[in-house]
Amino acid sequence: MDRRTVRLLNGVLALCCLALVFAAVYPFSTASPHGENPVDSQFAVPEADEYRATGAIVVEGKTALEFEGAVTADGRRYQSVDEGAVRTEQYQAAPDGPVYERIIVDGRNSIDQRRAQIRSDTDRELLRENRTEGAVTFIIKGESGDIADDIDGTASVVVRSLAAIGYERKADEQPGPSVYEPKNGWYEGIETYHVTAATGEVRTAPDTTAVRSATVTWEQTVPARTYAESALVRLTSDAPRTYDLSFEFESGQATVNRPAWVNAVRNRSVAGHS
């Protein structure tokens, strides 16, 4: 092999090595999880007069938020929300009826502050307070507000959290829901973050962003502006963090029964006035 050919091959190898170094140090591109039109491409909660919805956000195996909500044709509403240290239930027999609420607070939290907050609200009445080992339960009656708005708001927290990463729409093989699959990659937020091991899917009503069901999991490393930084963060911290999100929305017939704890305070109230 002559010297000219050797020099040429060495130059090509040097360029390849340089490309590998850049690939290890800096990502070639980052993306906004919402694309160029964030408002148009964000997932949304479907609209319906009667429905049942459930959802959860789990981070590193711990539940950050889990909820269930239902609205019936006869006007009943119910919602339960579990945030770990605080668990809340709401029940309303009609859109313009009183709202009964049960709040169970972990004993490690500020019970006095929670009680003061409830009592300072002129639209709410503290009906009962029970203390058990490790927790305090407040039962409250509110005189205004349609909790269907609260249910929609809680559902929106889960659905909007799906948009922390990007998705690719699968080709429609037949009429039916639109299906989106999560994408690995580098994303721009408050800080650049790296998403890996993304799996699952989001199903929406045909040709809309209204989510009917979702089960998505991904691992997220932050901050991660470069491959080198991503590797360093993984070595020196508990990154990546695993996120598991799920959501289900069923429109149509739903059933809500009055909870036993609501019956207890209602019966006590009637007995007290007899």
φ, ψ of residue 163 in degrees (nearest 5): -80, 15
Q: Where are the alpha helices (DSSP H) in 26-147?
A: 38-41, 111-119
pLDDT level of residue 272 (50, 70, 90 thresholds): very low
Predicted pLDDT at 266: 73
Q: Extract the runs of DSSP E, i.e. beta strands, from the chain.
A: 51-59, 62-71, 77-82, 86-92, 99-106, 124-132, 135-142, 167-169, 178-182, 185-188, 192-204, 211-221, 241-251
With 50 as the cut, is the pLDDT of residue 42 above it?
Answer: yes
Q: What percent of the chain has pLDDT over 90?
A: 51
With 60 as the cut, is the pLDDT of residue 223 above it?
Answer: yes
CA distance 102 to 77: 14
CA-based torsion, 40, 58, 229, 197: positive or negative: negative
CA distance 154 to 74: 22
Measured CA to CA in angstroms, residue 162 lies from 32, 57, 195, 210 at distances of 13, 9, 13, 12
Q: How far is CA 198 from the centre of its chain?
A: 16
Predicted pLDDT at 237: 59
Q: Where are the alpha helices (DSSP H) in the chain?
A: 3-25, 38-41, 111-119, 148-161, 227-236, 260-272
Going by their DSSP bridges, the two strands 86-92 and 99-106 should be labelled as antiparallel
Q: What percent of the chain has pLDDT over 70?
A: 74
Predicted pLDDT at 7: 45
With 50 as the cut, is the pLDDT of residue 49 above it?
Answer: yes
pLDDT level of residue 63 (50, 70, 90 thresholds): very high
With 80 as the cut, is the pLDDT of residue 26 above it?
Answer: no
CA distance 29 to 192: 11
**Which carries the bigger pLDDT value, residue 145 or residue 36?**
145
- Burial of residue 273, with CB atoms counted within 10 A of its CB: 0-12 exposed, 13-18 middle, 19 or more buried: exposed
What mean pLDDT is predicted for residues 82-103? 94
CA distance 102 to 88: 6
**Which carries the bigger pLDDT value, residue 25 or residue 111?**
111
Tokens linked to 6: 């050797």
φ, ψ of residue 81 in degrees (nearest 5): -135, 125
What mean pLDDT is predicted for residues 58-79? 95
Cβ–Cβ under 8 Å, residues 65 and 82: yes
With 90 as the cut, is the pLDDT of residue 54 above it?
Answer: yes
